[in-house]
Amino acid sequence: MGEDGSNADYGKKEFKRSGSHFTDRVTADGRDGWPVEAGRYRLVASRACPWASRALVSRRLLGLEDSVSLAVVDPIQDDRSWRFTLDPDGRDPVLGIRFLKEAYEAREKDHPGGVSVPALVDVPSGRLVTNDYQRLTLDFATEWTDLHREGAPDLYPAKLRDEIDEVMAGVYEDVNNGVYRAGFANRQERYEEACAGVFRRLEWLSRRLAERRYLVGDTITEADIRLFTTLVRFDAVYHGHFKCNRWKLAEDRVLWAYARDLYQTPGFGDTVDFDHVKRHYHQVHTGINPTGIVPLGPDLAGWLTPHHRAELGGRPFGDGTPPGPVPEGEEVPVQGRP
C-alpha cells in the first residue's frame, strides 16, 4: 500500500495502482543476489494495509518469525512515507531510520513509484530488497522452506497452483484492488463499474464457498490469505469509506462464516489490528474523508462467534500443525471479544 501522490489526491484524480518497482527475489539459490538467510532481512509492514497483512499472515503460518524480523509502521503515514513513530525516538531499532523511504533511497535515489509496504529490507546494508507484494508471500511459501517451522502448512502446493493462480487473479482484480478502484473513483461511472465488479465476485465466491471450507483444495492456501485480508476490512472501512455498500460482509451468511473461520484460526486474527485499520483509512485518505473523523463502529463482537465451517470438512493446516503463540512484542490488542 502506498500509491503515488499526496494523501489529499485520493478520490480527486484517476486511480491507478503502481506496480512494484523493486522486484528482486530472495531465493534459496540467491540467484538475484539475495539468498535466503536467517536474520538477514527485516519485514516492514503496516497492520492497516491488506497487501502487507498477507506477509504478516504468511510469516506467522510458516513460522518465519525467528528468521525474518518485523518492523510495524505507524498507521498514519504522511507525504514523506511510512513512519517508525511507534518505536522509541521515532526510529526503527534495527534499521535506525525514521522513514521507510530511507531504505528505498539507499537502494536507488529518485526511484520511480511510491514508498509501499510490505517491504523487505537487507539489514546489513539498510537497502530495500523488494516491495513486490504479489511475489513476496509466494517466495515465503516456496523458497524459504528450509527455515519453515516444523508442521508448517504448504500454502502453495504444486499440484494446485494453476487453480490457485486462477482464483487469485479474479480476487485481485475484482475484490483486492476492486474496492480501491471503487473508493478512489473520481467519476460516477467508474465507481459504479468497480463497485458492481466487487459484488459480482463476492457473490461468485459465496457460491464457491457454500459447500467447501477453503477456496482451493481442503486446506488453507495463499488464495485464502489474499481474500481474507480484504474481507476482514470490509465492514470496517470498505463498506462505508469506499462506498462498497450494496451489502455488508456480515449480511452474507457464507462469506461471514468463512471470514470468521479464518479470523479464529491461529495466524490470521492474531495479526489484525482494527484500530490501525480504521485510523489509517479514515485519517490518511483526506481526499475522500477531509474531516479525518474515525467511525465508532462496526461492533467487532461477532468475529469470535461460532462459524460452524468445520462441518464442511477440510483441515486448516493439512498434515501440519497450527503456529505457536505470537512472539513477545508482536501481540495486537484483543479485539472482537464477545
Greater confidence (327 vs 20) lies with 327
> Where residue 11 falls among pLDDT bands split at 50, 70, 90?
low
- Residue 7: DSSP 8-state: G
> Where residue 79 falls among pLDDT bands split at 50, 70, 90?
confident
pLDDT digits (tens, 9 = 90+) for 246-292: 999 999 999 999 999 999 999 999 999 999 999 999 999 999 999 99
Q: What is the pLDDT of residue 58?
A: 98
Cα(324)–Cα(20) distance, integer angstroms: 32
Which parts of 153-274 are beta strand (E)?
Answer: none
What mean pLDDT comes out for the span 190-197?
98
pTM more than 0.85: yes
> Where residue 18 falls among pLDDT bands split at 50, 70, 90?
low
Q: Are strands 41-45 and 127-130 parallel, antiparallel or unpaired?
A: unpaired
Catalytic positions are 49, 180
Cα(260)–Cα(154) distance, integer angstroms: 21
Cα(245)–Cα(225) distance, integer angstroms: 23
Q: What is the pLDDT of residue 234?
A: 98
Cα(199)–Cα(178) distance, integer angstroms: 9
Cα(92)–Cα(82) distance, integer angstroms: 11
What mean pLDDT comes out for the span 296-303?
95
Q: Calculate Rg over the CA atoms of the chain.
A: 19
Q: Is the pLDDT of residue 2 over 70?
A: no
